[in-house]
Structure 1
Amino acid sequence: MTYRSINGRQIEVLHGGHLLAYSITGKFNKDGQYDVNELGLLDNPKNLSTQTEFSNQKTMQLFEERVRNTLEANKRVIYQVSTVFKNQDLMPIGYHLQALSTDKSLDFNVFFWNVESGVKFDYTTGRSKIDRSMKVSDSTE
């Protein structure tokens, strides 16, 4: 885990972000198979990706909540998350999320960047350095 002090705030810059939220996939076993009798792995390596705090907490979480709310309303959802890499980079540049409920009350197709305000990443290696000129908008509109 990489911690940085940015604008007086200590943050964990990189997370092992869940591609599909654990609150949604908690019944999937280590092989990625749904098992109603098994609790599932919180850190299933088939469901983790290197993710910035911003992309994990400020963007992806908003869309995961929409999927959870739709599932809690007993609706069926087709949901896909894809990591997007450039060339042979070790760290994804972003994430492509798509969801559609069978009644079409949930419908999104979004891309968001794997970025963090105040931090510049070398996506080839996954290393980071403080760069106060790097600004990220909190808006997901």
Structure 2
Amino acid sequence: MYRLKRKFWRIILALGILFAVGGLVNQPDNGKAALSQGIQQLASWGNQSQRSSQPTTLPPTKQQAEAVLTSGIRSQLGSSVSWNGHGAFIINNNQPRLNANINSAPYAVNYKDRQGRAWRGDAWLNRTTRQYRNRSETGNGATNWRPAGFLQAYNLKNGYRHAYDRGHLLGYALVGGIRNFNASESNPANIATQTAWANEARSPESTGQNYYEGLVRQALDQGKQIRYRVTDLYDGDNVVPSGAHIEALSKDGSLKFNVFVPNCQRNININYATGAVTQR
């Protein structure tokens, strides 16, 4: 939706500039100055409109994020867990527990836990595994299928307008080029209920899963080979994961991270046992 709005305002801005040119280019006195001033004003309006249309992507507060770090979740992460200041936690001093000394063809596999929940995605990636086409072009578009706990809430205030996305373990753009891997949004082994923030946030100031996937995408585009693993962590019998434990290590060692992205959002409270959402 944000991308559509951005395109809309770009079109409006372009049309406005065309009208300005048509009206001012034939003016004999101060035509060039007026044209320049008009274009600058239109650009300013366009930038303001784009900024106002962007969703609020503030990360969860430290207190809110730490609320998911129950004893059950901490036992799965280990003793070294530190807040990064931007929504996520650094695990094991950012050192992944992965082996990237691999000589094999690329692969991507999913695992469910004993309760049948989407649990882990493990992959060996290179440039050929990347997918640049959109989902509709490859037959992996949206469906009506919903993962457990996907009790959607809309028209939220003070941030993202909706609560949940169909959150992937292994992202479409990273593994969509692997033949026979189900990268659709209805793969129950690869999709779990994830907040809009945890799934979409992608800036250094708001480090959701998309931010870390972006680091992997860039490295793959540079020709790197990367071992990549995402593990959804559940507290007890909850149907909604508490967060995603994400690790990456390139074969040459130039890319490596070990992080936990909490499955929360600044403007909502979540009942992880059921998926029910209330506005904060």
> Does the 8 A contact of 2:167 with 2:193 survive in 1?
yes
CA distance in 2, matches of 1:115, 1:71: 29
- Please name the residue that 1:69 is paired with: 218
- Please name the residue that 2:54 is paired with: none
| 1:123 equivalent in alignment to 2:275 | no
Q: Which runs of 5+ in 2 are unaligned?
A: 1-149, 202-207
Q: Which runs of 5+ in 1 are unaligned?
A: 28-33, 132-141
* Structure 1 residue 39, shift from structure 2 partner: 8.2
Alignment of 1:22-101 (within 5 A): 22-27=172-177, 34-35=178-179, 40-43=182-185, 44-58=187-201, 59-101=208-250
* Structure 1 residue 116, shift from structure 2 partner: 1.0
- Please name the residue that 2:32 is paired with: none
Q: TM-score, normalised by structure 1?
A: 0.79
Out of 20, 40, 60, the position equivalent to 2:170 is 20
Distance 1:65 1:9, change over 3 A: closer
Q: TM-score, normalised by structure 2?
A: 0.41
* Structure 1 residue 119, shift from structure 2 partner: 0.6
> Does the 8 A contact of 1:4 with 1:10 survive in 2?
no
CA distance in 2, matches of 1:99, 1:10: 28
Distance 1:22 1:78, change over 3 A: same
- Please name the residue that 1:138 is paired with: none
Number of aligned residues? 123
| 1:7 equivalent in alignment to 2:194 | no
Structure 1 residue runs of 4+, over 6 Å off?
none
CA distance in 1, matches of 2:159, 2:267: 11
Q: Which amino acid aligns with 2:167?
A: G
CA distance in 1, matches of 2:192, 2:238: 13
* Structure 1 residue 42, shift from structure 2 partner: 2.2
- Higher relative contact order (CA closer than 8 Å, sequence separation 6+): 2
Give 1 or 2: higher helix fraction. Answer: 2
* Structure 1 residue 8, shift from structure 2 partner: 5.8
* Structure 1 residue 9, shift from structure 2 partner: 5.8
CA distance in 1, matches of 2:158, 2:173: 31
What is the DSSP-based 3-state SS (H/G/I as helix, E as strand, rest coil) of the residue aligned with 1:11? Answer: coil
Alignment of 1:101-116 (within 5 A): 101-116=250-265
Aligned-residue identity in percent: 30
